[in-house]
Amino acid sequence: MENVVEVKNLTHYYGNKLVFEDFNFEIKSGRIFGLLGKNGTGKTTTINILNGFLKPTSGQCLMFGENSYKLPPQTKARVGFLIEGHIQYSFMSIKQIEKFYSAFYPKWKKEPYYELMAKLEVTQDQKLSKMSCGQRSQVALGLILAQDPDLLILDDYSMGLDAGYRRLFLDYLIEYAKAESKTIFITSHIIQDLENFLDDCLIIDYRSVLVAMPIKEFQKTFKQYKFHVPNPEFRLSKNNIIKNYEILKDKASVYTFSERPELEAYLNSLSINNSTVEEVPMTLEDAFIGITGKY
């Protein structure tokens, strides 16, 4: 399977501030890939480097096998980029803005745009100025899809969208991507909508990679356990078994990729009564908080 995106040993600084170091990942053709992390962990910086807006301090980013900082126009035309504040002309109508944008893209396919507008139940003569923020975001998505890009890059797509519009956005996008064999690279710090959307995930923290695997594998192998601690002064530490933990009063929560027998053997070495150990089911958002921490 072809790599649409390859990031190799990427290091970037803003002045003296290190954003990330020796950062590596790849995105396979036809996959929906999520770069997930808290605010300030470098998601948008990565997007800006991939789009050629920033030159990395060191390392290399490739899109379709070419240096992303020096992409020729014909390769840039294969990439659709959606950001907050996507350029729109509020005096135009739904139909007028589609006609305007179509003049710039030789591969323009208006059908996805009008299909999405039909789901919004807006008329073609409705002005953008009379639409809600969420509706205008859907217009921006429709305009991106009509460009017929091979790779869609969506940076924090959820900003300004309520729950209903986020769901509409993702439902339509996954249907379109699978039908048209498109590759999607999405960043977000809002996780709850992505559980049944992503194929692969890369979860990052400040200057480190926490998880890099298919999303279903992450949900299957990353576990949360709770147990009673022997006294208020009891302490844990992160290690090869305990990836994260939290202690509240007399109860501890630990997060681990280890199998239960290995975890229980470790806890037994700390004089923890294994009869109090219980597994706690997690949503993707729970797992994300578990691996990144609440603070």
DSSP track, 7-67: EEEEEEEETTEEEEEEEEEEEETT-EEEEEE-TTSSHHHHHHHHTTSS--SEEEEEETTEE
Nearest to 147 by CA among 89, 187, 98, 181: 98
Instruction: Return d(Cα 294, Cα 172) in angstroms, integer.
Output: 31
pLDDT of amino acid 232: 74
The pLDDT confidence band at residue 59, using thresholds 50, 70 and 90, is very high
**3-216 maps to which CATH number?**
3.40.50.300
**pLDDT, averaged across the chain:** 90
Nearest to 97 by CA among 149, 133, 134, 138: 138
Of all helices (H) and strands (E), which one includes residue 285? helix 284-292
CB 45 within 8 A of CB 19: yes
Domain ranges of the chain: 3-216, 222-292
Nearest to 83 by CA among 50, 47, 113: 47
pTM: 0.90
- Both structure tokens of 99: 């006609």
**φ, ψ at 174 (rounded to 5°):** -70, -35
pLDDT of amino acid 278: 95
3-state class percentages of the chain: helix first, strand second, coil last, to nearest 5? 35, 30, 35
pLDDT reading at 176 higher than 90: no
Instruction: Say which residue, 200 or 189, is predicted with more confidence.
Output: 200
Q: What's the pLDDT tens digit per position in 64-121?
A: 999 999 999 999 989 999 876 566 688 999 999 999 999 988 889 999 999 989 988 8
Q: What's the pLDDT tens digit per position in 207-234?
A: 889 999 999 999 999 999 999 988 878 8
Instruction: Return d(Cα 229, Cα 249) in angstroms, integer.
Output: 9
Residue 199 sits at the vertex; the CA angle it makes with 196 and 204, to the nearest 5 degrees, is: 100
pLDDT of amino acid 100: 94
